[in-house]
Structure 1
Amino acid sequence: MKPRLVLSVLLLTAGFAAFSQQQQSRTAKEDHSAVDDKGLIKIAIMYPFAEGKTFNMAYYETKHMPMVAGLLGSSLVKYSIEKGLASGIPNQPMPYLAIGTFYVKSLAAYQAAIGPHREAIRADLANYTNVAPVILVSQVVR
Structure 2
Amino acid sequence: MIRVTVSYAAREGARFDHAYYQNRHAALIREHLGAHGLRRLEIDQALSDAAGNPAPVVAAAHMLFDDVAAFQAAMAAGGQPLMADVANYTDIEPQILISQVHVAFEG
User: What is aligned with 1:98?
Assistant: 59
User: What is aligned with 1:121?
Assistant: 82
Residue-pair matches, total? 102
Q: 1:1-142 maps to which residues of 2 (within 5 A)? A: 40-72=1-33, 73=35, 75-90=37-52, 92-142=53-103
Q: How much identity, in percent, do the aligned residues show?
A: 32
1:65-103: CA deviations, max 9, x gaps?
Answer: 22122222251211101101112234x431010011101
What stretches of structure 1 of length at least 5 have no aligned partner?
1-39
Deviation >6 Å, runs of 4+: none
TM-score, normalized by length of structure 1? Answer: 0.66
Structure with larger Rg: 1
| Structure with greater strand share of residues | 2
CA distance in 2, matches of 1:79, 1:126: 21
| Structure with greater helix share of residues | 1
TM-score, normalized by length of structure 2? Answer: 0.85
What stretches of structure 2 of length at least 5 have no aligned partner?
none
